[in-house]
Chains A and B, each alone.
Chain A
Amino acid sequence: MTAKRKVSNGIAYAVLILISIVWLFPFVCLVLQSFRSYKLEHGGMVDYLLPKTFSLDSYAYLFSSDCQFFRWYGNTLTIAVFVAIFQTIFVLCVSYALSRMRFKGREALMRLWLILGMFPGFLTMICLYFLLKQFGLTQEGAVPGLILIGFASSGMGYYVCKGYFDTIPKSLDEAARIDGANRFQVFTIMLIPLSKPIIIYTALVAFMAPWCDYIFASYVAFGYSDSYNVAVAMQRWVFTNDYQGFFTRFCAGGVLVAVPITILFMCLQKYYVEGVTGGAVKG
């Protein structure tokens, strides 16, 4: 290795280490602050990073009966699981139909959905709220309501999955059909097992979205705290409540939300990368 390369690699390492510090610093802060003692040091924002005394006060509060944190956590988890299942099914169905079959109105459907996709989602908030309310899916019923809203229109997000299906040779389909399989069998027995990476990618993305859903969740669950999801509830801790008292609790809740999701994500990272890369190139 030449001296020149050594120098340039040294610089590269320095930059990478710097980047890593910047990337991880906020998360380290989050974890450290979640361990600050509520009783001794107050739960608000302070101008120092290392807690003077380590304690589990904030976590204890989340687990205590004063706080519905685990109800909210359960709500979010329920929404995320169901949305992930139904959304994956919808996306697979639409992708197969659009990738493998040629039918009347196919182009028109794709064009219509493309155009509909250009309207901002929040535009229709009041109308969706009204629709949900008709079925009793707001306030007390907000959790099933959010599941419904979460997957009902998810067929529009078929692009990445259809792109993946397009890369599976059609000759495989033809061969199976010559052997007497109908399209349903081709889809379920042949294509789905071949699409494991994209299925995991679709489900993962669908699973992660509800954890961040603040806007619609707060609108639908309005004023009914049993139906909150974690994002809504914790957002309220930071903004509307006296956040001077709730800040460390927010940090603790944030850790409890972030750790399982991060672990899940890291385990499935391979598939995520595959989906993102494929989607970017095929558009």
Chain B
Amino acid sequence: MGKEKQPSGKLASAGNAVANFFKWLGADLADIGSTFVNGDWKTKVSFIIMGFGPLMRKQFVRGAAFLLVEIAFFYYLISFGWGYLKDINTLGTQGRGFNPDGTVSYGDNSFLILLYGLLTITLILMFIFVWRMNVRQNRNAELMLKEGKKLPTVKQDLMSLLDEHFDKTLLALPVLGVFVFVMLPILFMICVAFTNYDANHQAPAQLFTWVGFENFKNLFSFGSTGFGSTFLTVLVWTLIWAFFATFLNYFLGMAVAILINKKGIKFKKLWRTILVMTIAIPQFVSLLYVGKMFAADGLVNGYLLKWGIISQAIPFWTNPTLAKVMIIVINVWIGIPYVMLICTGLLMNIPADLYESARIDGANPFQMFMKITLPYMLFVTGPYLLTSFTGNLNNFNVIYLLSQGGPQSMNLTGNAGYTDLLVTWLYKMTINSTDYKMAAVIGIMVFVVTAVISLVVYNILPSVKDEEGFQ
């Protein structure tokens, strides 16, 4: 996605990275040691009382900030964090019960223990980071004073947050937001995949606990109770769906764009505007409506019955194969306009003289498309195809608003239906059967599928290998 070097082809160098990490860690520890040994007493005290050095060197704001961080951290840890962290290896032992006097005793809450335990662990890591910063700043300040330089004033410190340290100001809130609302929850759910958190182990009434790889075994077990065959069915359909949703839309969209761009076609803007309607109108209106149009008692069946073309309603949403075809076809209606918009601009970038010389050489339009247009478009839109494919793997709206994953079947476990994608299945497990542990496992599988496809495709994309290729 980004232009920067991605984690591509890094498997081989992963070992290297680990080695580098330990090398860095060793060097860092040695640096901390020498700071302590060579530092003056202000620096040495700062190892225990953060901010002591800056306070003594009259950098009051910095010093107070460090000191406050330390106080807040230990207050949090003692009054709150440790109480949860100490139970994280069992996730609680005391279930809800009754005291001898008949009142309810609430016992441990596994959910809170896991969530706040994780929070505490990450806060400890962050504290270590701040502590390291504290040590480094002490050393720097000491060296600066030795060289006879002046330390930055409060005003300079604050101004640097708008200049050389502007990145910290800009990123503080977004990074915090991602940490609280994405990273922490994802860590939590990854942990849930290794517990037995489900309808029978609902916090706060009941405890749940670690079960190791039990849930993953369940996902790949093909017996009558296992999730194996359902998982395979859903996974295969997810991949088929993503393939068609991406490439069918891509080629049809390109075709429409070429058609509109054709010489001599008038009202180009009008045609584009009509197509773009499906982007503009919220999907929950358009898809719900179209879904209902094809229902057994919907408009399409109604007219076909009335005109005598069919004698009974076509089971658009109750026949698995038909439902799958319908979803792919209706998605074309939603998806073509995006591709058309993207292609329209790009098609105009292809130098006209390429086509001119091809025409002189006697190429027909089809040959020109295959030899000039298509290679260029594939080259330029490679990254789009990748993101579109991974986006479609998780395309919740189209599936859920059209078929809700149905038709359901007794052959499938976990409430799955024949048009369920992994994400809609995950959603159903969370909402309908509150089988959080399996939902978490499915979520991890979605990640694995997305990551593998991204890595593999990213490494074969021509535009990544050869940025100058078509210029």
Which residues of A does B touch, CB under 8 Å? Answer: 1, 5, 8-9, 12-13, 15-16, 19-20, 22-24, 26-27, 29-30, 45-49, 90, 93-94, 96-97, 101, 103, 106-107, 109-116, 118-128, 130-131, 148-149, 151-156, 159, 162-163, 166, 182-184, 187, 208, 211-212, 214-215, 219, 231, 234-235, 238, 247, 250-251, 254, 257-258, 261-262, 265-266, 269, 272-273, 276-277, 279-283
Contacts and interface: CB of A to CB of B under 8 A. Distances in A.
A280 to B, nearest CB: 4
B463 to A, nearest CB: 8
A96 B279 contact: no
B124 interface: no
Interface centre among A46, A121, A277, A280 (most CB of B within 10 A): A280
A151 B177 CA distance: 8
Contacts of A120: 394, 422-423, 426, 443, 446-447
B443 A30 contact: no
B299 A262 contact: no
A118 B447 contact: yes
Contacts of B286: 26-27, 258
A272 B372 CA distance: 27
A248 B7 CA distance: 51
Contact of B174 (A93, A122, A126): A93
Interface centre among B260, B265, B280, B431 (most CB of A within 10 A): B280
Interface in B445-459: 446-447, 450-451, 454
B166 A258 contact: no
B34 interface: no
A46 to B, nearest CB: 7
Contacts of A159: 1-2
Interface in B143-201: 159, 162-164, 166-171, 173-175, 177-178, 180-186, 188-189
Chain B interface, DSSP helix/strand/loop, else mixed: helix
A122 B341 contact: no
4 shortest interchain CB distances as A-B pairs:
A47-B302, A283-B383, A155-B174, A123-B443
Interface of B: 1-7, 111, 115, 159, 162-164, 166-171, 173-175, 177-178, 180-186, 188-189, 256, 259-260, 262-265, 271, 273-286, 288-290, 292-293, 295, 297-299, 301-303, 305-306, 333, 338, 341-342, 344-346, 380-381, 383-384, 386-387, 390, 394, 396-397, 400-401, 422-423, 426-427, 430-431, 436, 439-440, 443, 446-447, 450-451, 454
A283 B280 contact: no
Contact of B297 (A16, A45, A125, A184): A45
A96 B169 CA distance: 11
Contacts of B283: 212
A114 B178 CA distance: 12
A155 B178 contact: yes
A215 B166 contact: no
A182 B166 CA distance: 9
Contact of B285 (A20, A22, A183, A258): A258
Given A247-B292, A262-B280, A12 B259 contact: yes
B375 to A, nearest CB: 15
A281 B305 contact: no
A89 B227 CA distance: 44
A15 to B, nearest CB: 6
Contacts of B303: 47-49
Contacts of B180: 131, 152
A23 B174 contact: no
B284 A214 contact: yes
Given A94-B171, A130-B115, A269 B450 contact: no
A156 B182 CA distance: 10
Contacts of B274: 19-20, 23-24
A155 B173 CA distance: 9
Given A120-B446, A211-B284, A12 B3 contact: no
B181 A277 contact: no
Contacts of B299: 29, 45, 47, 49
A160 B232 CA distance: 35
Contacts of A219: 431
A152 B166 CA distance: 20
A97 B166 contact: yes
Contacts of A152: 177-178, 180-181
A118 B5 CA distance: 17
A261 B185 CA distance: 33
Contacts of A215: 396, 400, 427
Nearest to A8: B262
A133 to B, nearest CB: 11
Contacts of A277: 341-342, 345-346
